[in-house]
């Protein structure tokens, strides 16, 4: 990956970030250095909240990107999902993702989020193919208009001294990623993450890493590829091409994938049960009650599949089906613990004594809770 030249800070950025230490390194160096440390947790609506980000960082994610925050929602005072950008205590290297089509709203959103949370960087979503997002001109719809996309990026860059990246797809129904990538980099984006599919493909077919490599060759900023990397071999192939790696769906119910792509062994069913229970505990504590567990059900289904692969080789049996059904219908934390105890033979509420020290530290850590409203905003990461 290549480092870009450092752009001159805009006057608005200097005002917004008054008092913040400026780094002597090019802004893209933040991404380039960390991308060498491991794969990155991709932003996923409904999934990459604070509890899941912490688990992925525990297993070696180089950094994590939040769920997307609506710039328009912030401007209307509806929140726009601002809470999904909230760092957990001591979280470092978090990147907040925005979706926006209006440059002015994007810049204002960056200013507000920086004052509130002080993330390490910001990211613009140009890849989401969901209809309710593209119908507002946001997400992958920006791929139709590189000029507008560049204007949004330019406004974000002008509002902060923190680095700004863009996550995009290859195109909507045809490949236009090189043209769009050049436009947003010229506007000030200092890193790109490219999903190797078009918006029309959504998640069908194989990700095209040759096309991702074409984007990397066309711009002088760090480029991460996304799509279908779930093991050490896939990670090594991407790194051999000089690309960073971003993992999305492959991490669901498998936060340990960030360790596995760097050579660690996959966990057994006992560890899976304990990690799932850690996720449940943190989720309930973070959101303030058992009623929040419904939001986690989709993730629990993925944990069930991971445990099934370990215990039954993925084979569908009556007991296995009952196990997964129990998790995706769980109403309370205890329902999850009982399901794992029955299928795996380990009650995660009472973990074995002979755990690996790293796993023991994860299991014994206090439940993750939101900072109090009076907590000071986070300072810039390393």
Cα 293 to Cα 250, 298, 325, 331, distances in angstroms: 22, 10, 15, 6
Residue that terminates a domain, selected from 260, 278, 306: 260
Token representation of residue 265: 């062994």
Pair (214, 325) in one structural domain: no
Pair (332, 187) in one structural domain: no
Which residues on adjacent β-strands are paired with residue 125?
167
Residue 173 belongs to a domain: yes
Domain of 61, CATH number, reads: 3.20.20.70
Residue 370 belongs to a domain: no
Pair (238, 282) in one structural domain: no
Pair (242, 274) in one structural domain: no
Which domain range does residue 340 map to? 269-364
Burial environment of residue 263 by CB neighbours within 10 A (0 to 12, 13 to 18, 19 or more): exposed
Residue that terminates a domain, selected from 208, 230, 260: 260
Pair (158, 47) in one structural domain: yes
Residue that terminates a domain, selected from 260, 289, 315: 260
* Consecutive H or E run containing 98: strand 94-99
Average confidence (pLDDT) per 10 residues, the chain, 382 residues: 38 37 61 90 95 97 95 81 84 94 97 93 96 95 98 98 97 96 98 96 93 97 96 95 96 97 94 97 95 94 85 64 92 96 92 93 93 45 34
Pair (244, 302) in one structural domain: no
Q: CA 339, CA 307: separation in Å to the nearest integer?
A: 12
Domain count, the chain: 2
Pair (93, 224) in one structural domain: yes
Catalytic residue among 56, 128, 138, 260: 128
Q: Evaluate whether 42 touches 96 at the Cβ level (below 8 Å).
A: no
pLDDT at 375: 39
Pair (191, 126) in one structural domain: yes
pLDDT at 82: 74
pLDDT at 35: 87
Terminal-residue alpha carbon distance, the chain: 20
**Phi first, then psi: what are they for 274, rounded to 5°?**
-70, -35
Pair (181, 298) in one structural domain: no
Residue 225 belongs to a domain: yes
Over the stretch 50-88, which tens digit does the pLDDT of each residue have? 999 999 999 999 999 999 999 998 888 776 667 888 999
Catalytic residue list contains 128: yes
Residue 20 belongs to a domain: no
State the pTM of this model: 0.88
Pair (206, 280) in one structural domain: no
Pair (230, 339) in one structural domain: no
Pair (176, 297) in one structural domain: no
């Amino acid at each position: 990956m290549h480092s870009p030249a450092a752009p001159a800070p805009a006057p608005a950025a200097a005002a917004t970030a008054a008092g913040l230490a400026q780094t002597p390194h090019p802004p893209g160096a933040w991404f380039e250095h960390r991308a060498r440390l491991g794969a990155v947790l991709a932003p996923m609506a409904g999934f990459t909240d604070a509890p899941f980000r912490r688990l992925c960082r525990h297993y070696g994610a180089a950094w994590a990107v939040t769920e997307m925050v609506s710039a328009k929602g912030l401007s209307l005072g509806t929140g726009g999902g601002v809470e999904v950008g909230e760092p957990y205590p001591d979280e470092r290297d978090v990147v907040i993702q925005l979706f926006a089509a209006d440059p002015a709203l994007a810049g204002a959103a960056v200013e507000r989020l920086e004052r509130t949370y002080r993330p390490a960087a910001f990211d613009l979503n140009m890849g989401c193919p969901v209809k309710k997002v593209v119908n507002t001109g946001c997400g992958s719809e920006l791929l139709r208009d590189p000029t507008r996309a560049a204007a949004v990026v330019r406004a974000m860059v002008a509002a902060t001294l923190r680095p700004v990246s863009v996550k995009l797809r290859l195109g909507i129904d045809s490949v236009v990623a090189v043209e769009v990538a050049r436009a947003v980099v010229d506007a000030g984006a200092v890193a790109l993450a490219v999903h190797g599919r078009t918006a029309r493909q959504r998640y069908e077919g194989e990700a095209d890493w040759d096309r991702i490599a074409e984007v990397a060759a066309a711009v002088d900023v760090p480029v991460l590829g996304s799509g279908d990397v779930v093991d050490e071999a896939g990670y090594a192939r991407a790194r051999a091409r000089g690309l960073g790696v971003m993992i999305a769906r492959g991490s669901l119910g498998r936060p340990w994938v960030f360790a596995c792509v760097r050579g660690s062994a996959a966990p057994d069913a006992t560890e899976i049960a304990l990690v799932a229970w850690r996720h449940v505990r943190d989720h309930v504590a973070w959101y303030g009650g058992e009623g929040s567990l419904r939001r986690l059900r989709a993730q629990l289904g993925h944990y069930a599949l991971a445990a099934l692969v370990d215990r039954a080789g993925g084979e569908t049996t009556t007991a296995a089906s009952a196990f997964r059904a129990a998790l995706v219908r769980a109403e309370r934390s205890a329902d999850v613990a009982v399901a794992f105890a029955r299928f795996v033979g380990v009650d995660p509420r009472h973990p074995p004594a002979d755990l690996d020290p790293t796993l023991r530290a994860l299991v014994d850590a206090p439940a993750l809770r939101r900072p109090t409203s009076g907590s000071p905003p986070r300072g810039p990461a390393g």
